[in-house]
Structure 1
Amino acid sequence: MTADPDTAYRYAKGLPVVNPGHQGRVQIDTPLDFLVIADHAVMLGGVRHIVDKGIPTEGMGLVDQARAWYAQRWLRGVVADDEGMAAFASFLPQPMSVEEAAAAPLGAGIPGWRAMARTSWQETIAVTDSHYEPGKFTSFIGWEWSSIPAGANMHRVVFTPNGADVAGQFQPFSTSDSNYPEDLWNWLGETSERTGAEFVAIPHNSNISKGYMFSETNLRSEPITAEMAATRMEWEPVAEITQFKGDSETHPSLSPDDEFADFETYTHYIQQNAPEYTPVAGDYVRSALLSGLEIENKIGANPFAFGVIGSTDSHTGLASAEEPNFWGKFPRDTTPFGKTAGWRTGSGGSLGPNGWSMSASGLAAVWAEENTRESIFAAFKRREVYGTTGPRIAVRFFGGWDYDVAAAEAGDLADIGYAGGVPMGGDLTGAPTGQAPQFLVRATKDPKSGNLDRVQIVKGWLGADGETQERVYDVVWSDGRVTDANGKVQAVGNTVDITTGRYENTIGAAELSAVWEDPDFDASQNAFYYARVLEIPTPRHSLFDALALGIDVEETNHPATIQERAYSSAIWYKP
């Protein structure tokens, strides 16, 4: 293992580093502006310790010593077999009910992990501070709280704008302390009061939460109260909408009228002998936004009024979200050969995901005054953030009551947007009599990626009957296409040559912008609106690997192409 926090920051900054999987030199194509390194708080830094020094086996029985031996060989890349993966998976949660598992805080199961974690934390925060270059590159101190009771993924990425002088006063809260999100929030509040630290916690990989991430009750089966909702929004103003282990915007079973809902759908729980994947509303961002309207109508507070970002979830130290330059989730996934083997969910368990199941996604984007810890953190707190599935698509999204249609083409669109309304993450209130809200949106392509297909606005609202509804509107699109009899915009086409992995930007547009007014507005109904921007089809990493291996892309069981996208944070309308 060659990856450590210093390697992760150097890679993010655009420097060449050694890939921890195949040991070759790799380099990100477009450097990042900021990065949070978020190792799991339980056994923080332990994987690198295992790879470098082995698993401490003092006090272990012979069976556990054998498990440890196979697990560390698998992590070191010495073996790429099912036995090694099964040994590693044996440390994952055992089958039990979610409620039972939540009440049993998760330890690492390896002697000496707490001492390793304390040392690793101090080393990591020092390295993080050393890479902070205000105005040029921002490094954030953070960690991952990895609650996963019975395979219900409740993970949060926590980060702070404070430096090592403050972060050195605490050890990250972990699932050895508690599996309950409320306990994490309480700890954040107590630690903030004690040390002066500020925090944001980001729900992470909600699509495999078994419905618990955005449930109307907590893990203790208690209904959400106004106090719970306020506390959650204090610490979790933002949620993750896309990452390596799939897209969390929505699911085709939840949004059957959305033709683009089935995107990078990931169907594997992190659990031994995992049950068949079952999508439920509490797993997905759009359903959570809808649920938030219902809950607010009942208790007067919305626990899910969050903005959205993308992130990677890399376990290699390489934040790679570029399809032709994607280095996988684990070191074994960094080569096409490594991606071919499926992980098993336990000894004798069913075949799980492989490297092609992963999505080369995503990125967190913020609208901040400057590239500093304070400015970026403030953008998170006010929800003026958005997520992409990898490309650097620039998205502006404003809501107001009196935008001129000419604003869409204005050079000072942002100034007009702020002056006449609120940006993504904001609230619109008090509709003028007889007026519907207008939304000013502009999307600009990543110069190194595909042209843009279309810009859509997704609306969710609470009807007079107390039921939520959703609708996707095509707002502006490329190439002068027309709508069909059902009001659907024609498909943009596809220029990808699957025999070479090349494509042409001869379709689509470099930029799309519009002023759009809600044609179905009811001033009495609570609603939210967010922008979704689609690229034209481009090659997926599974196609590049198939070409490298000399196999048909169908053998990867994943598509040859992908329509990358960006999601803005919502704007909420409140009567």
Structure 2
Amino acid sequence: MKIMKTKNTRVGKRHGLAITLTALCSYGLSAHSSAEEGTQLLWGDTHLHTSFSPDAYFLGNRSVDPHGAYRYAQGLPIVNAATGARVRIDRPLDFLLIADHAEMMGVPYRLFRGDPELAGTKTGQRFIKMVKEGRGADVFAEFLGNINAKRATPEFNSDRIRRSIWQETTSLADQYYQPGKFTTLVGWEWTSTPGGRNLHRVVMSSSSGKQASEFIPFSALDDETPEGLWQWLGKTSEQYQTDFISIPHNSNISGGLMFDVVDSDGRPLTADYARSRMRWEPVVEATQIKGDSETHPLLSPSDEFADFETYRHLLSVSAEGLAPVNAGDYIRSALLRGLSFEQSLGVNPYKFALIGSSDAHTGQGAAEEHNFAGKVSIYGKPESYDRPVSSTNTTTVSGWDFSASGLAAVWAKDNTREEIFAAFKRKEVYATTGTRIALRVFAGWDFRNRDRKSKDIAALGYRKGIPMGGDLSAAPVGKSPALLIQAVRDPEGAKLDRLQVVKGYIDDNGKPQEEIYNVAVSSERKIDPQGQTTAVTNTVDTRTASYQNNVGADEFLVLWEDPDFKPQQRAFYYVRVLEIPTPRHTLMDAVAMAKPHPASPASVIQERAYSSPIWYTP
């Protein structure tokens, strides 16, 4: 895939107008809940691990099980597995999917608590003896090594054991479900990692816990190919009258496999493959603890914000070192590839929405910089978190390399399993890196500047256009797509720096291209005729790990029309909103320990939100 040139918009009346508002309601948008369209903004995490995940258990989380994870997400205090201290999330979540690994789910947790069915096996007795001898690390290496090598331990992987643990998981999901107040989504993680390259998926079920208990979660020990997973999802959905969504994550360390140009057998993609993928994978996790997967500087060299929370360490501890940068690893490149495939196959295999989630293995969501509990429990304290987690001949992974990210934002009609699942299916969701920026995006052909003054942006947007995740086609003669965008700052977070529109398209020569338009900027800055602007003031005090929230905007309200639209060109558009600079969790650690912050990773972060795309198909 070619390295693509990025440019910014020119300024003019038809290229969009931004205004900044300071008089906001307590949460931000009056359009969060509209009587006419009836959607509300919900915040959640669809990728949280508890002590039922084998790696979480071995890496220090012996106590925060699904009970603790659900309680923490609802705002109740729990005991941190690493420190023994009482901890509490600042702002409760609206929904949670506990995504413990399907591979040996709950086995270490039960084994080392003396479950007779596991402890009485030959392997179980040997593992218990090794732990008593202080060889727990050897047990972990053998246990995870067998999973990664697809060597299932028969004594631990019988249907009886798998079903028993899964039924406990699903029963707890129903126990903590409070429709209208707190939604527990039923799911798990399918953990395929060929050669250390991440192909993981979080599987979300539309079922209740009781209904889901009738089947056993599909694992990478059953089949390590995505095609095998999709086939199982098809059979199971028919057999049990349910539905599923498979959510790819950490594409940034997939070694080019996540959004490849061939299937798992190395064959060129077909229309059937594309249809199957889009049937099961309408949503992708764009940001989480193991970094941000929007794009990379080598793929988007003119994007000044492309080098953000970049994490490239493969999951295998080997001499391979840093994962090479590949277009198959990143969201923006995949969206561009999707346009090309749609042109050649008639179907787009990469027509997905975006969310964020945590992938925390502590049982505590990890999206708050100041309240970051770490990736795993043994590295959840500042004095240990700046030490290497693992190293190879060429690279070292520190706990500080991990990101305090992210969140899934959902525009749903109600806080229930049915409505949240429906919002995922129609792609009316978006990603943030942990901030709670409220973001609305609508596209249409008939928006006017006066629409920005509507008392109910959402109602007007639904009536005259389509929301994020939707499709435009058949451009009326002489018209260009217009985006009606409203972004409101997190009421408990930082103000906004800028709002950008990212466009991908297929040019007249059949080549994928990208453009980035600065559409709105804060603090009385201007966008020059070349589409450039100055950087927002950085108010972070590195001595105190604090910042002044006295620059930036409270809200952007924009009507933007594509100035370079060509009716015959396939395209997608998504919105990126950046906050002003704030302290990263590592800076807080360094100040707490009275130590200098290292040169890498960054000590300052610009949190952001990514809308799901809107596509234009001629």
Q: Give TM-score scaled by structure 2 length.
A: 0.86
Aligned amino acid, residue 12 of structure 1: A
Corresponding residue for residue 445 of structure 2? 401
Paired residues of 1:166 and 1:196 also in contact (CA < 8 A): no
Given the alignment, which residue of 456, 459, 478 partners 2:503? 459
CA distance in 2 between counterparts of 1:57 and 1:469 reads 60
Give 1:493 shift.
1.2
Given the alignment, which residue of 287, 292, 296 partners 2:338? 292
Corresponding residue for residue 39 of structure 1? 100
Give 1:365 shift.
0.6
State the secondary structure of the residue aligned to 1:554: coil
Shift in CA distance, 297/71, structure 1 to aligned 2, threshold 3 Å: farther
Give 1:111 shift.
4.0
Give 1:70 shift.
8.3
Shift in CA distance, 447/185, structure 1 to aligned 2, threshold 3 Å: same
Give 1:370 shift.
0.6
Within the alignment, does 1:20 sit opposite 2:81 as a pair? yes
Corresponding residue for residue 616 of structure 2? 573
State the secondary structure of the residue aligned to 1:23: coil
Post-superposition CA distance 1:104-131 (Å, at most 9, x none): 9724558424454332211010000011
Within the alignment, does 1:423 sit opposite 2:423 as a pair? no
Shift in CA distance, 70/441, structure 1 to aligned 2, threshold 3 Å: farther
Corresponding residue for residue 76 of structure 1? none
Aligned amino acid, residue 199 of structure 2: M
CA distance in 1 between counterparts of 2:144 and 2:303 reads 35
Paired residues of 2:237 and 2:243 also in contact (CA < 8 A): yes
Shift in CA distance, 62/47, structure 1 to aligned 2, threshold 3 Å: closer
CA distance in 2 between counterparts of 1:544 and 1:110 reads 46
Within the alignment, does 1:190 sit opposite 2:235 as a pair? yes
CA distance in 2 between counterparts of 1:87 and 1:257 reads 47
CA distance in 1 between counterparts of 2:319 and 2:68 reads 34
Corresponding residue for residue 366 of structure 2? 320
CA distance in 2 between counterparts of 1:127 and 1:64 reads 28
> Which segment is superposed worse, 39-48 or 295-304?
39-48
CA distance in 2 between counterparts of 1:257 and 1:459 reads 14
Given the alignment, which residue of 171, 174, 178 partners 1:126? 171
Corresponding residue for residue 606 of structure 2? 563
Aligned amino acid, residue 609 of structure 2: A
Corresponding residue for residue 65 of structure 2? 4
Q: Structure 2 matches for 1:99-498, cutoff 5 A?
A: 106-109=150-153, 111-114=155-158, 115-275=160-320, 276-344=322-390, 352-484=396-528, 486-498=530-542
CA distance in 2 between counterparts of 1:215 and 1:542 reads 34
Aligned amino acid, residue 607 of structure 2: E
Aligned amino acid, residue 222 of structure 1: R
CA distance in 2 between counterparts of 1:415 and 1:360 reads 34
CA distance in 2 between counterparts of 1:394 and 1:271 reads 37
CA distance in 1 between counterparts of 2:133 and 2:308 reads 35
Paired residues of 2:430 and 2:610 also in contact (CA < 8 A): yes
CA distance in 1 between counterparts of 2:435 and 2:70 reads 20
CA distance in 1 between counterparts of 2:364 and 2:154 reads 26
Paired residues of 1:14 and 1:30 also in contact (CA < 8 A): yes
State the secondary structure of the residue aligned to 2:412: coil
Paired residues of 2:401 and 2:601 also in contact (CA < 8 A): yes
Aligned amino acid, residue 242 of structure 1: T
Shift in CA distance, 62/37, structure 1 to aligned 2, threshold 3 Å: closer
Aligned amino acid, residue 492 of structure 1: V
CA distance in 1 between counterparts of 2:279 and 2:134 reads 39
Aligned amino acid, residue 298 of structure 2: S
State the secondary structure of the residue aligned to 2:390: coil
Shift in CA distance, 292/93, structure 1 to aligned 2, threshold 3 Å: farther
Paired residues of 1:342 and 1:351 also in contact (CA < 8 A): no
Post-superposition CA distance 1:386-445 (Å, at most 9, x none): 010001111000110111112224221111111111100000011111111100111111
Shift in CA distance, 263/324, structure 1 to aligned 2, threshold 3 Å: same
Within the alignment, does 1:88 sit opposite 2:149 as a pair? no
Give 1:168 shift.
1.1
Give 1:8 shift.
0.5
Shift in CA distance, 105/332, structure 1 to aligned 2, threshold 3 Å: closer
Aligned amino acid, residue 367 of structure 1: W
Q: Give TM-score scaled by structure 1 length.
A: 0.92
> Which segment is superposed worse, 409-418 or 120-129?
409-418
State the secondary structure of the residue aligned to 1:367: strand
CA distance in 2 between counterparts of 1:534 and 1:262 reads 14
Post-superposition CA distance 1:34-83 (Å, at most 9, x none): 0000000001123433554498595459998887678974xxxxxxxxxx
CA distance in 1 between counterparts of 2:83 and 2:111 reads 18
CA distance in 1 between counterparts of 2:240 and 2:125 reads 44
CA distance in 2 between counterparts of 1:72 and 1:312 reads 30
Paired residues of 1:161 and 1:377 also in contact (CA < 8 A): yes
Give 1:487 shift.
2.6
Given the alignment, which residue of 559, 582, 585 partners 1:515? 559
Paired residues of 2:518 and 2:527 also in contact (CA < 8 A): no
Give 1:90 shift.
5.4
State the secondary structure of the residue aligned to 2:500: strand
Corresponding residue for residue 545 of structure 2? 501
CA distance in 1 between counterparts of 2:129 and 2:343 reads 55
CA distance in 2 between counterparts of 1:372 and 1:574 reads 33
Give 1:483 shift.
3.1
Aligned amino acid, residue 77 of structure 2: P
Post-superposition CA distance 1:341-379 (Å, at most 9, x none): 21225xx76653222111000000110011011101000
CA distance in 1 between counterparts of 2:122 and 2:145 reads 21
Aligned amino acid, residue 143 of structure 1: W
- Number of equivalences: 553
Post-superposition CA distance 1:172-222 (Å, at most 9, x none): 000110001011011001001101121111001111000000001111101
CA distance in 1 between counterparts of 2:124 and 2:267 reads 41
Within the alignment, does 1:544 sit opposite 2:588 as a pair? yes
Unaligned runs of 5+ in 1: 74-83, 95-100
Corresponding residue for residue 98 of structure 1? none
Shift in CA distance, 221/451, structure 1 to aligned 2, threshold 3 Å: same
Shift in CA distance, 418/257, structure 1 to aligned 2, threshold 3 Å: same
CA distance in 2 between counterparts of 1:273 and 1:67 reads 25
Corresponding residue for residue 80 of structure 1? none
Unaligned runs of 5+ in 2: 1-61
Aligned amino acid, residue 226 of structure 1: A
Shift in CA distance, 245/108, structure 1 to aligned 2, threshold 3 Å: farther
User: How high is the sequence identity, in percent, across the aligned residues?
Assistant: 49
Aligned amino acid, residue 429 of structure 1: S
Give 1:283 shift.
0.5
State the secondary structure of the residue aligned to 1:312: coil
Paired residues of 1:543 and 1:561 also in contact (CA < 8 A): yes
